[in-house]
Copies of this chain bind each other. A is one copy, B any other.
Amino acid sequence: MSAPSPAPSDPEPIAQPGEEVDWLLLNADWVVTCDAAMRTIRSGAVAISSDRLVAVGGTADLERRFRARRSIDLGGHLLMPGLVNTHTHAAMSCFRGIGDDLPLDRWLHEVVFPAERAAVAPEMVYWGTLLSCAEMLRNGITTFCDGYFFEESAARAVRDSGLRGTLGQGILDFPTPDHPDPATARLRAESFLQAFPESDGRLRPSLFCHAPYTCGPDTLRWVKALCRDRGILFQIHLSETEWEVRAIEERYGRRPVFHLDALGVLDEGTLAAHAVWVNGEEIRLLAERRVGISHNVASNMKLASGVAPLPELLDAGVVVGLGTDSCASNNALDLFREMDKVAKLHKVARLDPQVCPAETVLRLAASGGAAALGWDDEIGSLEAGKKADIIALDVNQPHLVPMYEPASHLVYAARGSDVRYAWVNGRLMLEEGVLSGIDAARAAAEVRKIAAQVAGK
């Protein structure tokens, strides 16, 4: 890291000084923009002013055009947009690795629900979310989309962390940890929206109907209407398991996507997580309605939910991003791990090594995720005018040498720990692998206390 060198005294007429910017990131071996053309730039640079990208281009060009208050030489690094995690329940870091490898019903009823009854509270949500923010930022995730209980506390954690996020309050037709009476869930939703913290454009509120089998038609309708009214994202788990499809067909006579469509819930303001058990007709409808899909490959594998028809979703033009799901069903918040699995699982599931090539998968983790959240006007690629959410990976390590093709390495060889720098909203939040702005040690200590309670039960 170095301040720009002072210009030497020069007898020639001094050229017009360039525009002043806050940051110049220079000499990156590669800039992988993840723009529509998936343009990559050798010896690339980025200029940042306040919270925005001012320019993305070659180092020589940007050095000529701009003067910077701070500059940094990123030789040996690859620059790319911060990754977008479209689905998680961040507070559940408190339950990382309890009761793995059980059948789903035993896992839920003997492990997760008792743990939630014992532990879920505003403080737990705050510290669990903050710890997850630390983990995600270290892994190059600068934006995430969340859903849980006491979500005001999650929003405060994200505000304090410096990350960007869409925070969804969970709604069910059952008593929940933060709302014992489902009949008055609307009051809960409104109090959440009222309590939602102010931010510098980094935080967006959302409502999260848990699933078609836990939220009846009335609930789905009023929650979606409220989301439309406030212009916020409506989230739902959709067709995660085959059981769910059968249950909805039995109850409503339609498969889940058609059931939701009949209720008017499907549009570009809806994000559906999983979409594992959707058929061809449902895929066409999801594309037509511009619903965003969060593909959660690791969680679907670990819980043995099934293999989502990702190639068909993409072929049909459905908007898809990647999600980690929670630490309780993954058990890590790392989109590099997800990308590697997405690229590989669908190949072996089809016995076709051409399915889900690296560049396609990389796009899903960045611009695809931004689009699924309805945030692609501001994030998901390195382009002038977008928010300055940027990560830099150290590519000068044995497992990334040699480099024939950056997209290949980002999908098949890189990992979260390669991320050494991160800027969110123009602010340097990770520097040489060290977080600034999140007290991860404190969050870890608080989460360990919560875990001791849970384990002691």
Please give the residue numbers on chain A whose beta carbons come within 8 Å of chain B beta carbons, in ascending order: 93-94, 96-98, 100-104, 107, 131-132, 134-135, 138-139, 242, 298, 300-307, 327, 330-334, 337, 340-341, 343-345, 347-348, 350-358, 396, 398-399, 401-405, 408-409, 412-413, 415-418, 440, 443-444, 447-448, 450-452, 455
Complex Cα–Cα for A95 and B155 (A): 45
Q: Are A353 and B304 in contact (CB under 8 A)?
A: yes
B302, B306, B350, B418: the one contacting A304 at CB < 8 Å is: B350
Q: Are B354 and A103 in contact (CB under 8 A)?
A: yes
A26 vs chain B, min Cβ distance (A): 22
Complex Cα–Cα for A337 and B236 (A): 30
Seed contacts A100-B408, A404-B455; 13 additional CB < 8 Å A-B pairs:
A96-B409, A97-B408, A101-B354, A132-B398, A134-B398, A138-B398, A138-B399, A304-B348, A330-B412, A332-B399, A396-B444, A398-B444, A401-B447
What are 21 of the A-B contact pairs (CB < 8 Å)?
A94-B402, A96-B413, A97-B404, A97-B408, A97-B413, A101-B353, A101-B357, A131-B398, A135-B399, A301-B344, A302-B344, A304-B347, A306-B348, A332-B415, A337-B340, A341-B344, A345-B348, A398-B443, A398-B444, A402-B450, A417-B417
Query: Using Cβ atoms and an 8 Å threshold, which residues of chain B touch A305?
Result: 348, 351
Known: A343-B302, A347-B304, A412-B332. A102 touches B353 (CB 8 A): yes
A419 vs chain B, min Cβ distance (A): 11
Q: Which residue of B lies closest to A136 (CB)?
A: B398
Query: Using Cβ atoms and an 8 Å threshold, which residues of chain B touch A455?
Result: 404
Complex Cα–Cα for A298 and B343 (A): 10
Query: Using Cβ atoms and an 8 Å threshold, which residues of chain B touch A444?
Result: 396, 398, 401
Query: Using Cβ atoms and an 8 Å threshold, which residues of chain B touch A399?
Result: 135, 138-139, 332-334, 416
Complex Cα–Cα for A107 and B358 (A): 15
A297 vs chain B, min Cβ distance (A): 9
Q: Are A304 and B103 in contact (CB under 8 A)?
A: no
Query: Using Cβ atoms and an 8 Å threshold, which residues of chain B touch A337?
Result: 337, 340, 415
Chain A: interface secondary structure? helix
Q: Which residue of B lies closest to A353 (CB)?
A: B304
Q: Are A131 and B401 in contact (CB under 8 A)?
A: yes
Complex Cα–Cα for A96 and B398 (A): 11
Known: A134-B398, A401-B96. A353 touches B408 (CB 8 A): no
A186 vs chain B, min Cβ distance (A): 35
In the A-B complex, the 7 residue pairs with the smallest Cβ-Cβ separation, listed nearest first, are A402-B451, A301-B344, A417-B417, A97-B408, A101-B357, A135-B398, A331-B412
Query: Using Cβ atoms and an 8 Å threshold, which residues of chain B touch A401?
Result: 93, 96, 131, 444, 447-448
B100, B107, B332, B354: the one contacting A102 at CB < 8 Å is: B354
A320 vs chain B, min Cβ distance (A): 18
A233 vs chain B, min Cβ distance (A): 26
B135, B302, B306, B412: the one contacting A100 at CB < 8 Å is: B412
Complex Cα–Cα for A348 and B347 (A): 14
Known: A302-B344, A403-B97, A404-B97. A353 touches B104 (CB 8 A): yes
Query: Using Cβ atoms and an 8 Å threshold, which residues of chain B touch A353?
Result: 101-104, 107, 302-304
Q: Which residue of B lies closest to A115 (CB)?
A: B404
Query: Using Cβ atoms and an 8 Å threshold, which residues of chain B touch A344?
Result: 298, 301-302, 341
B93, B331, B348: the one contacting A408 at CB < 8 Å is: B331
A278 vs chain B, min Cβ distance (A): 16
Complex Cα–Cα for A305 and B347 (A): 9
Complex Cα–Cα for A408 and B98 (A): 8
Complex Cα–Cα for A412 and B242 (A): 24
Report which residue of A101, A138, A452 has the largest number of chain B beta carbons within 10 angstroms of its beta carbon: A101
